[in-house]
Structure 1
């Protein structure tokens, strides 16, 4: 067979994988022709040589291919990626995979399936119905702890995303300097100018002001279904000390917390704030994840065995849920690992992590309500609301980003993605 994708020839070892797959299912068309057909549907198909087939291409083919074909295609794609790499350990992985023959390929398929998750099914299961008998607040009350004089956009993005997903109320607790700016962005948000930074506080007044800050947040705490801590928070020492106390009180009152941005800086330097708290979610990007791994596991990031490492990291922190943001988001609570590979956007504008944190907060609160209600018709195998919230939030963010990019291409910004959240959710879970 002569396997060619565009102007790029498939590596020789990958040809053997495709032949192996072809023999496995007896499908004469399951070869270069099918790979080419998938690429024609993929947004990656450009005049330049296309990259190897990705999981996004398989998602586009899900309606015309059987689950067995998808699993086998996933295995072939994995080996193609490994074979095209010059990194020795990846070459060895491919050789081991091929050396095991068909039985080994079946094991590989099972491993891949155990990580992937049907995110849209999760969203449909946990999203509450729009019922005229419900009252304000039942669909979620979210609070964002963040916003300082340097950063006002991030807390707004997180808070407004929560509303666009479907939360009823969204609060922002920020510094006094940031409050007027955030208020001007939207009248939909409830903004509390209660946080203080070191430059505005005398040393002898810090304890008194810290108690006042905590008391102001405390009187609202039990009303909230989830806190988002970190967007636009900054790294002022006094401000971080106050937020640390807020996090401790959230744990005492059993309020879920989603930690992003500078909240991750705070947690990385004080793991005890979240250690052992099953309703805590960490959403690190590449660099934040690297710092967490170095701090908690005292090792370097392992890209070859990323699934096992994120599992170990979550377990080491005591069962918190980690959403590792990358090409395919990995989600683990220390017991299981889920992967969300829905195609997003190649446009990497700032603020997408803030949308994600606000979205996860809403879905986490909905998942918690769903599990507490103990719906007998629920088909959810996972019962951890933090994991379910991460799966749903990741998928929603990716779907909205993809839709926004289809409209705006290179000019896509965070506000465009936020405006696509409602349409994306409606596509998965219609309101009527």
Structure 2
């Protein structure tokens, strides 16, 4: 029997009676001519983090490169690029039909910013009821003026989780005419030390208060603000993840985080636990894996090395008795 520490309500047991897919069917929606690595990092991280099946929905120009990275991800070239508008209805129908079985969708890594993509996102947001993690270019699309995506997020906020970096936060705040200021992590008001890795924090003022205000503008959507400490809030409660990650900021670590949050938010929902707990677990595992890889690779650290340590990072929260 496995004894699990503070994340025991989320992490499923390794049980031979479970069937394929029960531990998570996660889709990464992104991948374009310019960007093929990001959606792969998100998808493979969900597998290394304990998921069973990983799917990638990308453009035709990205499909062959992504397929060549690994045989472990199922790749569908259902996304379109500008100039392929005549295929829009067929593409949307394929995407909606195929993603119905997914437990969560990680939308944005390598997605691109074409106008046709916004139309696809609008239908996906409206008609798909899976958990949806928005990262990278998906956050760019929703922050553009005169788009219909924000309204859908507000109406279905319990289905969405946003994982913005500093620049993406600035765009979202600008959309709502809220002034941005830099976080002062030293002044964060700690309310309760739940764990050595994360702490409950006040969200009445300071940077956590700014993130809580943004969350409330989006009808209490969960926001995972990436930074020196990841600040996680749904506008009602807030947490800061304090565990140290890597000192080298190689590209792709945000894709790992979004993939793991896609998986762990599903685990939380499956166990009838608040999805914010899955976001905390995703942040902690990402940082712990990065620290393990950094201790070994130092200046040579790259994202694939971090991905190699995700399993050990997760398993460190599970002890065999």
Above 0.5 in TM-score? yes
Q: Which has the higher helix share?
A: 1
Tell which deviates more after alignment, 360-369 or 289-298. Answer: 289-298
The corresponding residue for 1:282 is 162
CA-CA distance at 1:239 after TM superposition: 2.3
The corresponding residue for 1:358 is 259
Of 171, 180, 183, the match for 1:291: 171
CA-CA distance at 1:225 after TM superposition: 0.5
Of 186, 210, 218, the match for 2:96: 218
Of 16, 24, 43, the match for 1:140: 24
C-alpha RMSD of matched pairs (Å)? 1.5
Aligned residues: 292
Tell which deviates more after alignment, 127-136 or 210-219. Answer: 210-219
The corresponding residue for 2:305 is 416
Q: Is 1:197 aligned to 2:87, yes or no?
A: no
| CA distance 1:404–1:292, shift in 2 (3 Å) | same
Structure 1 unaligned spans of 5+: 1-119, 372-382
The corresponding residue for 1:34 is none
CA-CA distance at 1:302 after TM superposition: 5.3
Of 76, 95, 118, the match for 1:240: 118
Q: Distance in 1 between matches of 2:307 and 2:320?
A: 18
Of 217, 223, 227, the match for 1:322: 223
The corresponding residue for 2:10 is 126
Contact 2:59 2:77 in 1 (8 A): yes
Contact 1:296 1:317 in 2 (8 A): no
- Which structure is larger by alpha-carbon Rg, 1 or 2? 1
Residues 348-375 of structure 1: per-residue CA shift (max 9 Å, x gap): 000000000000011001000111xxxx
Contact 1:274 1:317 in 2 (8 A): yes
The corresponding residue for 1:9 is none
SS in 2 for 1:195: coil
The corresponding residue for 1:272 is 151
Residues 80-108 of structure 1: per-residue CA shift (max 9 Å, x gap): xxxxxxxxxxxxxxxxxxxxxxxxxxxxx
Structure 1 segments, 4+ long, off by >2 Å, are 120-125, 300-304
Q: Distance in 2 between matches of 1:431 and 1:237?
A: 51
Contact 2:31 2:57 in 1 (8 A): yes
Whose relative contact order is higher, 1 or 2, with alpha carbons under 8 Å and at least 6 apart?
2
Contact 1:293 1:301 in 2 (8 A): no
SS in 2 for 1:274: helix
Structure 2 unaligned spans of 5+: 185-205
Q: Distance in 1 between matches of 2:5 and 2:257?
A: 19
Contact 1:267 1:274 in 2 (8 A): no
Contact 1:143 1:226 in 2 (8 A): yes
Q: Distance in 2 between matches of 1:223 and 1:216?
A: 13
Contact 1:130 1:431 in 2 (8 A): no
